[in-house]
């Protein structure tokens, strides 16, 4: 039988309390004076601390298990306050139209906006006991609903930013998963915390950024990633994922592969650098810097150039429903690439450090004649072939049918398999 977290412990003979949130996470309440608590958050980063948590779980020494209700009563006796938080609000027949950038009109049975780890665990408990599927939604910028969702939606809204360490140049900052990605990038730049500027104006939330390993103009989230914390959907355990454990790839991570739909990311930590090197190798950035008449660019100048590029190519989802780039740029082995280039010498491509080649999916779609194509309420954007758009009233199934036709046509004409970057959600 799997252990369900959090677990609660009390030291026999004293008032010290523990809430064990996961195999390595413990919150400790030590009595301070007659009526206060001294609260410590512990993360067991090494074996001795991990052993200590294991002993607490096993009720070794003077630790004894208590119920959540007993734990709350102990807290209240000393502080004079009831620590039990109110339950989050459950919304029935919730519409995706206003909560996803594609604007597809689909419904969910229930939706809850969560603002804390406790809220997350409460929603997980409700869906687990009811046997209903759960969809975790951040900014709603990278999903396409094929129809109604016959389950619950967990709308991530955990906010906040905290500096964990700062040596004067580099600093580690942890950010709530519900913060908007672009808001976070601009806040970091405002504070002189650099390294994310090439990813300005990417839609979505901070929590979704490592899942997708978002990136733009030569920089990816993994380049500034430190760790993330996530709650296991079955056990409620809070765990920390470092760089290696995330298994980052091109627009990919373990959360889209082996650990898909098993975790709810609640916060992400980044390591930023006040003197981070600038990434301006992309010609489009250099062109925009020239247009801005900037000879010695700052990190903010690079962000401004990136935003100008994105605004010129990508439609505003508030005006025209879309999820940004719908397809990944395909990556080919040398032999596969040589076969494509032999038939299509002008194919736009980029050499990768591992010897493989990345093709420009937008070029393939454009050359196949799909740019500007329109059918019913959806189509391919006339300025960027990578972007599928909802002109109004299109269903997710109609947009996906268009995507499938593009995939099949590119395969037939170029021998290249396109993959969607946008997550497909089927109810």
Which residues, including other chains, have CB under 8 Å from residue 341's CB and lie 6 or more apart?
347, 349
What is the three-class DSSP state of 24?
coil
Peptide bond into 422 cis (omega under 30): no
Give which of 185, 193, 188, 183 is closest to 217, Cα–Cα: 185
Q: Quick one: CA dihedral 89, 92, 96, 98, positive or negative? A: negative
Please calculate the CA angle 404-220-248 and round it to the nearest 5 degrees: 75
Residues serving a catalytic function are 251, 325, 421
Which residues, including other chains, have CB under 8 Å from residue 413's CB and lie 6 or more apart?
367, 368
In the numeric block, the tokens 């093709």 are attached to 359
Quick one: 45 exposed, middle or buried, by C-beta within 10 A (0-12, 13-18, 19+)?
exposed
Round to whole Å and give the CA distance between 75 and 79.
6
Give which of 210, 211, 230 is closest to 222, Cα–Cα: 210
Please report how many Cα atoms fall inside a 13 Å half-sphere around the Cα of residue 178, on the Cβ side. Answer: 15
Q: Which residues pair with 7 in a beta bridge?
A: 20
Round to whole Å and give the CA distance between 267 and 98.
24
Contact 314, 386 (CB under 8 A): no
Round to whole Å and give the CA distance between 314 and 421.
16
Contact 42, 25 (CB under 8 A): yes
What is the three-class DSSP state of 173?
strand
Quick one: 165 exposed, middle or buried, by C-beta within 10 A (0-12, 13-18, 19+)?
exposed
Go through the chain and tell me how many residues it has: 427
Query: Could you give the C-alpha distances from 365 to 55, 263, 283, 334, 339, in angstroms and in order?
Result: 58, 34, 21, 21, 18
């Amino acid at each position: 039988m799997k252990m369900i977290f959090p677990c609660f412990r009390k030291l026999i003979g004293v008032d010290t309390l523990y809430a064990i949130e996961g195999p390595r996470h413990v919150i400790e309440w030590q009595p301070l004076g007659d009526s206060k608590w001294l609260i410590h958050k512990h993360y067991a980063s090494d074996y001795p601390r991990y052993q200590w948590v294991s002993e607490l779980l096993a009720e070794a020494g003077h630790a004894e298990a208590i119920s959540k209700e007993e734990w709350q009563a102990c807290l209240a006796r000393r502080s004079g306050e009831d620590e039990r938080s109110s339950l989050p609000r459950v919304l029935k027949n919730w519409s995706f139209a206003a909560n996803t950038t594609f604007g597809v009109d689909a419904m969910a049975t229930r939706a809850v906006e969560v603002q804390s780890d406790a809220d997350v665990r409460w929603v997980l408990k409700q869906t687990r006991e009811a046997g209903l599927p759960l969809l975790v939604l951040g900014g709603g910028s990278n999903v396409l609903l094929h129809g109604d969702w016959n389950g619950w939606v967990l709308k991530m809204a955990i906010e906040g930013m905290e500096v964990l360490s700062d040596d004067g140049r580099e600093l580690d900052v942890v950010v709530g998963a519900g913060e908007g990605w672009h808001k976070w990038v601009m806040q970091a730049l405002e504070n002189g915390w650099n390294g994310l500027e090439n990813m300005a104006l990417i839609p979505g939330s901070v929590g979704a950024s490592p899942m997708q390993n978002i990136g733009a103009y030569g920089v990816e989230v993994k380049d500034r990633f430190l760790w993330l914390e996530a709650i296991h959907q079955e056990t409620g355990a809070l765990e920390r994922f470092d760089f290696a454990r995330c298994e980052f790839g091109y627009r990919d991570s373990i959360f889209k592969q082996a650990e898909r739909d098993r975790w709810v990311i609640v916060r992400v930590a980044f390591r930023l650098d006040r003197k981070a090197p600038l990434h301006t190798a992309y010609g489009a950035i250099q062109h925009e810097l020239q247009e801005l008449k900037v000879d010695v660019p700052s990190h903010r100048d690079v962000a401004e150039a990136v935003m100008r590029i994105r605004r010129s190519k990508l439609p505003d989802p508030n005006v025209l429903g879309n999820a940004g780039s719908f397809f990944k740029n395909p990556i080919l082995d040398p032999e596969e690439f040589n076969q494509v280039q032999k038939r299509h010498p002008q194919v736009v491509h980029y050499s990768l450090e591992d010897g493989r080649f990345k093709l420009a999916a937008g070029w393939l779609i454009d050359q196949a004649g799909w740019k500007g194509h329109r059918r019913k309420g959806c189509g391919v954007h006339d300025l960027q072939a990578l972007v599928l758009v909802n002109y109004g009233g299109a269903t997710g199934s109609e947009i996906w049918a268009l995507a499938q036709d593009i995939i099949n046509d590119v395969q037939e004409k170029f021998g290249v398999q396109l993959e969607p970057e946008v997550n497909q959600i089927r109810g």
